[in-house]
Chains A and B, each alone.
Chain A
Amino acid sequence: MKTAPIDISRRNLLVGAAGLVIGIALPATAARAQAAGNLGAKAPEALEGTQTEKSVPPNAYVRIGVDNKVTVVVKHLEMGQGTYTGLATLVAEELDADWADVEAVSAPVNAALYTNSVWGGQLTGGSSGMASSFDLMRRAGATARAMLVEAAARRWDVQADELQVEKSVISHPPSNRSARLGAFVEDAAKLPAPDYVTLKAPSAFTLIGQKGFSKRVDIPDKVNGRAIYALDIHEPGLLTVVVARPPRFGSVPGAVDASRALAVKDVVAVRQIPTGFAVYARGTWPAIKGRLALAATWDDHAAETRGSEEMIADAAELTKTPGAVVGTKGDAEQALAQASEIIDVTYVFPFLAHGPMEPLDGYLRWDQNGAHARYGCQLQVGDQPTIAKVLGLNPNQVTIDTMIAGGSFGRRVQTQFAGELAEVAKAIGPGQPVKLVWTREDDIQGGYYRPMAVHRFRATINNGAIIAWASNIASQPVVKAPPSRFRYGVDPLISEGADELLYDIPNFRCDVHSLSGTVTTNSWRSVGHSHTCYAVECFVDLLLEKAEKDPVEGRLALMPPSSRAAGVLTAVAKLAGWMGSGPVNGKARGVAVVEAFGSFVAQIAEVSLDRHGNPKVHKVWCAIDCGIAVNPDIIRAQLESGIGYGMGHILYGDIPIEAGAVKVSNFDDYRALSMSEMPEVEVVIIPSSQQPTGVGELGVPTIGPAIANALARLSGKRQSRLPLVRAS
């Protein structure tokens, strides 16, 4: 197999086959170094349009064919959030391209070119795609435009500044000449890239933020079955692999009798790998059937023996003792010691699985010269070296084609899958292509989870004012991160959203206990905010009720009136016609607000109780301030999505563990929100000239507390243990 240190996928090269293309050749080392330098620079405030920005090599980010096709190279995983469209919009805007000619492809692995400037590695996460691309991709589009305009000016022997570009047509009005971009790519490819380019002022945008412009580049193939995911890969000789893994966390493979499995038609081999026993077959069903026929034993000497109830009880005990202090103001302990009444509430959050519609799956083929993997890769920075290490290769001998993924919600942010993919390929030997498939049971049971968390809050109120607020959190670190990413010795993702409040409270303290455990954890849509927002927003709602304040007015009174948080709260109250919580005619309303991933969101949920006493959410109003709204319709879609996803988990999500093993396995007992439960959603986007910030995870944090706060007004009960609807 042929591999190269840097590879553009075959799909990308097809564009080149249409003719000469700007930058079809990969950038020279010098250009890469230049790009790296640019990427390392702090993102400039480039919104005025009068500033000039250093150009970037356009070939790494956009290629234009003689057929006028504009191909944008996207460094983020398209998993539904719309990054293909979002980043392509940035390029098309500055290039003045015809949107009908624009397509997007995934970037190869190349840390110098495609590092996420927010996180410092090639990866997708933290709702950072737009924030880490807004200037970069616009510069790429502007650079390509400048080169094409220069080529046109030379050919027509006119001044470049007399040329106009609109919808991929370069025109020279004085001489009445015009031609499409593709006519100039051959000439433009011979020109040096300009040192500086001018970016548009927002008032000149024709795509960014425009109503009526909403068309996603990936949707046409997603309505006719043509979109290709890793599960859809086929090639001659391919073996499909499923792995039998131990039921308990921390357990390892013991022995296996594979004779019955090998007797299943089309099962080819069974191999032991570090994570279990791999069954190789010609087809998915024989592999699944073969796995069922395995007689495997597991070595449980290091296995987890506790269940989630014991883990929660242990964590709850810890929250009664001081931890690492991660936030402090005034003296909360002294204020509480002097208080006549302390409001003391403990919130409990279960482990949660991500459950993306497409379970983990991927393709890999390798030999001693290199490896080629194809899958929905979200963590190139970690996966490439992981695969290389398993196969005894150098990282630059591993190419990864990042394919579109059927959701992630954080699930693909770990290197364990890439490692297992390499292990199953290694165990069957070089030259044999494999497709590793996780079933839904594998996904729900063998998974990486949103960590269980316990929050204990204490507060005191005097004359209607919150005098002191102390919170104490016990949870596992979200990711295995180097200590350099830790703060005060603990993972800051445990307490984000709780260690600094949107509310001005004179005496404040936040403690964190970092739990160790064998249960594997990772990011889950909105990460720490998935529990801290519920805890903080339910607790402040309780305090405001005790202080006899309106939930909206009371929150606003605790924050600067000009703050962006106050802006979204005010906007959502206006959108919903807020007249208080109610209940009115059996429906009550709850509110919550959050700052996360640089954006601000407030939601109001209208809820009633059905005849079984279960919540029915009728409508959710949502206001977001995410800086410049690049694609308002995708922002709305992501908020609808986050609301539905968050709501499903707040109502039903629970990964119970007993004696070290997960007790649920599929969508029958790990319940997803259904069509009939989805509320109506109305979104308002706050106009802004700030740099764009996160959207993909932003619908999730506030929906839980908004629902719970409405339920509190309906039933008089405030539920502090999640999920809200617990299996009896």
Chain B
Amino acid sequence: MSQTIIVNGQAHVVDVDDDTPLLWVLRDALQLTGTKFGCGIAMCGACTVHIDGEPMRSCSVPICAVTAPVTTIEAVDGREAEAVQAAWIAHQVPQCGYCQSGQIMSAIALLRRTPNPTDADIDQTMTNICRCATYVRIRAAIHAAAQAVTGAGI
């Protein structure tokens, strides 16, 4: 049935079954394809978006449960987002790149909550899977982004 969702600041009316995961609404109905499909069971995090600012695995959120605004990789902004994306380039993080939208959305959420994360914080929060194993560089880039954000705030 049809329902209205707010994605990247815009209201959209979508006419899909209630159990349709948010992921497929974003990708197929709204053609916001930056959010990726990796497992469909909330294990890999390739589909991570922000719902009301919180990182959520959109493959496992049915559209009928989406009542708060959604932000995707295409529109995420703010100083944490800029710092993370810049650090991802500076540290040459992506390889195949397919999981990186989700990694970046998770990292932005981490920095918003924990401006100076420790390695243990990163281990605990960054549970997104990267089959290219770019983890060494993701860790370094998060630390660099944290420094950029907190440094800029002084």
Contact = CB atoms under 8 A, between A and B. Distances in A.
B99 A357 contact: yes
B125 to A, nearest CB: 9
Interface in B21-80: 21, 24, 27-29, 31-41, 43-44, 46, 72-74
A405 B98 CA distance: 8
B136 A216 contact: no
Given A234-B31, A640-B137, A678-B136, A80 B40 contact: no
The 8 closest A-B pairs by CB, nearest first: A225-B34, A644-B133, A406-B98, A80-B96, A222-B97, A80-B95, A232-B33, A225-B73
B92 A406 contact: no
Contact of B130 (A81, A357, A359): A357
A640 B138 CA distance: 12
Most buried by A among B19, B85, B93, B96: B96
Interface in B72-126: 72-74, 85, 88-89, 92-101, 104, 122-124, 126
A218 interface: yes
Interface string A634-670: 1001101101110110000000000000000011100
B34 A284 contact: no
Main secondary structure, interface of A, reads loop
A643 B134 CA distance: 10
Contact of B135 (A222, A224, A678): A678
10 contacts: A215-B92, A223-B85, A225-B34, A231-B36, A266-B16, A357-B98, A359-B38, A668-B43, A674-B135, A678-B136
B35 A356 contact: no
A678 B133 contact: yes
Nearest to A640: B136
A681 B25 CA distance: 39
A219 B92 contact: yes
Contact of B131 (A220, A288, A355): A355
A671 B97 CA distance: 20
Given A357-B46, A440-B38, A643-B133, A285 B96 contact: no
B94 A666 contact: no
A226 interface: yes
Contact of B74 (A219, A224, A358, A647): A224
Interface of B: 16-17, 19-21, 24, 27-29, 31-41, 43-44, 46, 72-74, 85, 88-89, 92-101, 104, 122-124, 126-139
Contacts of B124: 676
A320 interface: no
Contact of B137 (A265, A637, A643): A637
A672 interface: yes
Contacts of B46: 357
A637 B92 contact: yes
A407 interface: yes
A8 interface: no
A283 B24 contact: yes
Nearest to A222: B97
A675 B132 contact: no
B134 to A, nearest CB: 7
B37 A231 contact: yes
A353 to B, nearest CB: 11
A228 interface: yes
Q: How large is the interface on A (under 10, 10 to 19, 20 to 34, 35 or more residues)?
A: 35 or more
Interface string A293-335: 0000000000000000000000000000000000000000000
Nearest to B98: A406
A676 B123 contact: yes
Contacts of B99: 357, 406
Contacts of A674: 127, 129, 135
B132 A641 contact: yes
Given A80-B132, A356-B96, A637-B134, A223 B104 contact: yes
A251 interface: no
B73 A224 contact: yes
A644 B139 CA distance: 14
A88 to B, nearest CB: 15
B37 A675 contact: no
B85 to A, nearest CB: 5
Given A285-B24, A640-B133, A681-B136, A79 B85 contact: no
Contacts of A386: none
Given A231-B36, A240-B28, A640-B136, A356 B20 contact: no
A518 interface: no
B111 to A, nearest CB: 15
A319 B16 CA distance: 57
A502 B74 CA distance: 51
Contacts of A675: 122-123, 126-128, 135, 138-139
Interface in A403-442: 404-407, 409, 439-441
A666 B24 contact: no
Contacts of A264: 17
Interface string A430-460: 0000000001110000000000000000000
B37 to A, nearest CB: 6
A357 B127 CA distance: 14
Given A406-B97, A675-B138, 8 more contacts: A80-B94, A80-B95, A214-B92, A228-B33, A407-B131, A440-B40, A637-B92, A674-B135
B123 A224 contact: no
Contacts of B104: 223
A264 B18 CA distance: 12
B140 to A, nearest CB: 10
A358 B21 contact: no
Given A667-B44, A675-B127, A676-B123, A82 B95 contact: yes
